[in-house]
Structure 1
Amino acid sequence: MIQPVVATLRNFDELGDKANDIAVLREFVNSHFNPPGTELVEWYPRDWVDFPSTFLSIHDYHHRRWALHLHRIWRDLCRRVRDDVRRHQDHYSLLYVPHPFIIPGGRFREFYYWDSFWILKGLIFSQMYETARGIIKNLAYMVDNHGFVPNGGRVYYLTRSQPPLLIPMVYDYFLGTGDLDFVMEVLPTLEKEFLFWINKRSSMYFGEDGKEKFPYYQYKARLQMPRPESYREDFELVHHLTKNEDKVRMWSEVASAAETGWDFSTRWFSQSGEARHNMRSI
C-alpha cells in the first residue's frame, strides 16, 4: 500500500458509484498499491553449492541429473522480506519474517506452512542447513508473534493454520544436522504451538454411556466470510443458499478444509446423498 490505510480508505469512499467503473477502479489500485512481489527481494542462498556430497547417494544417472536440476531451482525461489514490511506492517498484506525462505513459485510469492515441510526435506538433502534453519526460525517467529503458524505468509491467512508440521520439521533438521542446541532453543516455541492445537483445535467425544471420553483434534477455521484470497470463488459457492447462517457455515467449512492442506481433494466429498461428489458436501 503506497499511502496510509486511513487515506486509502478515504480515497476509495470518495469514489462512490465510480468504483463500479473498471477503468476508474484500475486507476485507483495502480495509484494506491505497489505491483505484486515488490515487498520481496531475490536472495542468493549462501549455503548453496553446485554438487552437495549427498547427491552421490543417488546412483542412477538420470535420477541424479533430475535431482540436481531441482537443486538448482533453490537459487531461483529464495526470497527475503524487505525491511520496510517490518517497519510498516499495516501497509502490506505480507507478514514479515526475519530470515530468507523458499517460495513455491508462480503466483505463490509467500511462504506456506504445508509447503515449507516438504521444502525443508529438500534443503536438508541439499545440505543447505542455514536456509533450512532460517525457515524453521521464520515459522517459530509466527508462533511467537501470532500464537500459531498461519496457513501462509499473508495477513488474511491469520484465520487458519495448516497441518501442525513444525515439530516434525525440527526433528528432520535434527536428524540431518545433529544440532541439539537449536532444538533446545526452539523447544518453548514448539510447546506454544502445541498448546494452540490443544486449546483451539481439540474437542472431546463422549461415549454412549456418557462416561467414556476420547480427545480428538479437528481442523476448524473460524471464518464467517469468503476467504480473501479466493473471495469470488467462495462468494459464488454459496449462491444457492438463502439463509445467512448457512452461508457462514459453508464458508467456515471451506476454510477448515483449506486448513487441512487438502484444498481441495475428493477426500472431503460425500460419497452418497444428493450432494455427493461435489463441493457442497464438504
Structure 2
Amino acid sequence: MRRFSRLAALMLACAALGNAPPPSPAELFGNLFIAVQERRIFDDNKTFADAIPQKPPAEIMTDYRAAPPVDDKALRSFVLERFTVPGVNDSGKAGLRAHIRNLWPQLVRQPAPVIPGESRIALPGPYVVPGGRFREIYYWDSYFTMLGLAADGEHALVESMLDDFTSLIERFGHIPNGTRTYYVSRSQPPFFALMLDISKEPDAAVQARRLQALRSEYAFWMAGSACAGRQRACLRVVRMPDGSLLNRYWDNRDSPRDESFAEDRASANAASGRPSGQIYRDLRAAAESGWDFSSRWLADGRTLPTIRTTEVVPVDLNALLWAMERRIARGCGEAGDASCSQDFAHRADRRKRAMDRFLWQAGEGRYADWLLAEGQPSATLSAATLYPLFVGMASRQQADAVAELTRAKLLAPGGLRTTLTRTGQQWDAPNGWAPLQWIAVSGLDRNGHGGLARTIAMRWTATVERTYEGTGKMLEKYDVEESLPGGGGEYPLQDGFGWTNGVASALLDRYPSLERAAP
C-alpha cells in the first residue's frame, strides 16, 4: 500500500512540474483500484477507470485505509459514495424491485394519431414498449411485461393493453408481431389466452368481447386446415403422418423484412440452390416464433442461410395453442355455450395426443420440435421443452423426465440456457432470456419441482441484479454462463427492458427473499 502512495505522490509532484503525464486511476487509487477491478464490482473495468472522484484522491484513500470495505456490497457502496460512476446513477442505490417500479412510467406510451405515411399502427389505450430500438408494442413480450405490471399493482395498464390487443384482433384478425405496418403479415407466439388469465376485469360484456377475439385469433392460426388436407402443410397448419393437425410458424410474405432488409438480402445471397423467396419466408417465420434467430431453425444447426423455420413443427407453439383451445373451452363453458366448450375441449385432446405421439421423446426425456422433411424429431435440445409443463399438459412422468434433463443440461450458473449450441445467434447458448426463465420456473413449480424452479429463479435474479448494480440497466438478454450482458444477433444489446422488468418483478413477488437489499 505504501508503495502506491509514494508512487501517486511522486506522479502528482512531477505533473505539477510539467515533467510527466498526470497519474492514472490505478496510480492514484492503488489497492482500492485493484480491489474494485479484480472483484469486478462493475461488469466493465472501464467503468471505474472512468469514474470521477467527488473529493480529493488523498482523502478517499485515507477513508479506504481507515475502514476497508468488508465485502463486495460494502466496496460498491464505498465507491458510489465517493465517485460519480458513468452509467450508474443514484437509481442504482435503490433495490431492483423499486427501480423497476420507477421504470414503468418511462416505458408507457399514450395513444397518438398516426401521421400519414408513417409505419406505426395506432392503439386505443396506453401500453408498454420493451425499450431501446423497440419503440412499439410487441405481442409476446407483452405477456411477460403484464406479469410484472400485475405484480406491481399496475392493473389498469394491464387492462388497457388487453383492450389494445383485442382491438388489433378485431382489425386484422390476429395480433401482429408488433404495431408497425411491416409486422402485419405475421404474428408472434400466441399468449393472448394466457394474458386473459392475468385480467381482473369483472365486466361480462368485456369478457365476452375478449373471448370472441380469442376465437378469431384461433381461426387465424388454423386457417390452413382445409388446404392442409390436400398437402402436407398449408399456411400455419401441418398435417402429421397420422392425419392429425399441428401448427408451424409462417409469414404471409416472402420478401425481405423492412426492418432487416439488408441483413435478409445478405442471407439470401449467401444461400446456394434455394429460391430467395423461400429464405425470406423462413426468416420471417423465425421472427414470428420470437426466436430470431436460433439453431432450432437451421438445417446445419449453425449458419443462417440454411434456415428452414417453415419445415419445423415447434413444441412451444403447439403447447400454446393447446392452452388456447382449453381457454376457449373454459370461456365458452362460463358463457353457457356447451357446444363450443365441448368442441374446443376435443380439439385440445386431439392436439395433446398428436404432441405425445410426435413431439414427446420418451427415451430422451424431452419434448422436441418435429422436422417435416426428415419425418423425425429435431436433435436440438432447447428450453422450449418446458412449455408443456408451463401450460399444464405434461403428465407427471413427462414432467419428472424434463425436470431431470433441465437440471442436467439446461441449468447454468446464471439461469436457464436457451440451447446448448453456440452459433452467434442470440437465441442460442450462452444466452438466457427472461421469458424462458418464467416458463421454466412456472412449469417446474406447478409440476412438483419447486426446488429446481427456485434455483433457476435465484440464479436468474442474481444475474439481473448483478448487471443492474454494475450498469444501472435492465437488459434484453444475458449470458447465463458468465452472468454478464448477453450478445449475438443482428442488432446491438438493448436496455429498458419490458419483459426483463416484468419477469424480475414477478419472480421477486413469488420469491421475496431473493431480492438483495439496496446497496
Q: 2:257 aligns with which of 227, 232, 246?
A: 227
Aligned to 1:240: 270
The whole-number CA distance in structure 2 between the counterparts of 1:75 and 1:199 is 38
**Distance (whole Å) between structure 1 residues aligned to residue 212 and residue 272 of structure 2:** 47
SS, match of residue 206 in structure 1: coil
Contact 2:249 2:289 survives alignment (8 Å):
yes
Structure 1 letter corresponding to 2:127: F
State the shift of 1:91 in Å. Answer: 2.4
Classify the secondary structure of the residue corresponding to 1:149: coil
Residue matched to 2:286: 257
Task: State the Cα deviation string for residues 203-229 of structure 1 (Å, max 9, x = none).
Answer: 32233xxxxx11101111122210000
Q: Deviations over 1:179-233 (max 9, x none)?
A: 36343331111111111111142232233xxxxx111011111222100000010
User: Counterpart in 2 of 1:75?
Assistant: 105
Deviation at 1:267, TM superposition (A): 2.6
Task: Name 1:204's counterpart in structure 2.
Answer: 239
**Is 2:179 the counterpart of 1:149?**
no
**Aligned partners of 2:271 and 2:306 also within 8 Å:** no
1:124 aligns with 2:153: no
Counterpart secondary structure, 1:98: coil
1:23 corresponds to which residue? none
Alignment-derived partner of residue 279 in structure 1: 304
Q: Secondary structure at the match of 2:109?
A: strand
Q: 2:125 aligns with which of 99, 103, 113?
A: 99
Which structure would you say has the larger RCO, counting Cα contacts within 8 Å and 6 or more residues apart? 2
Matching residue of 1:218: 248
| Deviation by residue 1:9-57 (Cα, 9 ceiling, x = unmatched) | xxxxxxxxxxxxxxxxxxxxxxxxxxxxxxxxxxxxxxxxxxxxxxxxx
Aligned residue runs from structure 1 range 25-174, under 5 A: 65-83=95-113, 85=114, 90-173=116-199
What is the rounded CA distance, in whole Å, between the counterparts of 1:263 and 1:241 in structure 2? Answer: 18
SS at match of 2:244: strand
State the distance in 1 between where 2:285 and 2:178 align.
Answer: 14
1:62-90 Cα deviation digits (max 9, x unpaired)? xx92112111100111001313x1xx5x4
TM-score calculated relative to the size of structure 1: 0.67
2:202 partner letter: D
| Cα distance change on mapping 1:110 and 1:188 into 2, 3 Å | same
- What secondary structure, in the 3-state scheme, does the structure 2 residue paired with 1:137 have? helix
CA distance in 2: counterparts of 1:202 and 1:249, whole angstroms: 17
Counterparts of 2:159 and 2:140 in 1: how far apart (Å)?
A: 16
CA distance in 2, matches of 1:147, 1:188: 11
Task: Give distance in 1, aligned partners of 2:177 and 2:213.
Answer: 17
Q: Distance in 2 between matches of 1:255 and 1:111?
A: 18
Which of residues 252, 270, 295 is equivalent to 1:266? Answer: 295
Number of residue pairs the alignment of both structures matches: 203
**Match for residue 467 of structure 2?**
none
User: Within 2, Cα distance between the matches of 1:150 and 1:246?
Assistant: 26
CA distance in 1, matches of 2:185, 2:95: 41
Other-structure match for 2:367: none
User: 1:205 corresponds to which letter in structure 2?
Assistant: M
Shift of 1:280: 2.1
- What SS does structure 1 have at the residue aligned with 2:198? helix
Whole-Å separation in 2 of the counterparts to 1:98 and 1:248: 35
Question: In the TM superposition, what is the alpha-carbon distance from 1:178 to its structure 2 partner?
Answer: 6.3
Q: Which residue matches 1:189?
A: 213
Q: What secondary structure does 1:71 align onto?
A: helix
Tell me what 1:179 maps to.
202
Helix, strand or coil at the partner of 1:114: helix
Moved over 2 A (4+): 177-185, 240-243, 265-270
Cα distance in 2 for partners of 1:178, 1:192 equals 20
Deviations 1:148-168 (A, max 9, x none): 000001000011100111111
Report deviation, 1:241: 4.3
Q: Percent identity?
A: 29
Question: What residue identity is the alignment partner of 1:179?
Answer: P
CA contact under 8 A between 2:111 and 2:123: conserved in structure 1? yes
Give the secondary structure class of the aligned counterpart of 2:278. Answer: helix
TM-score (norm 2): 0.37
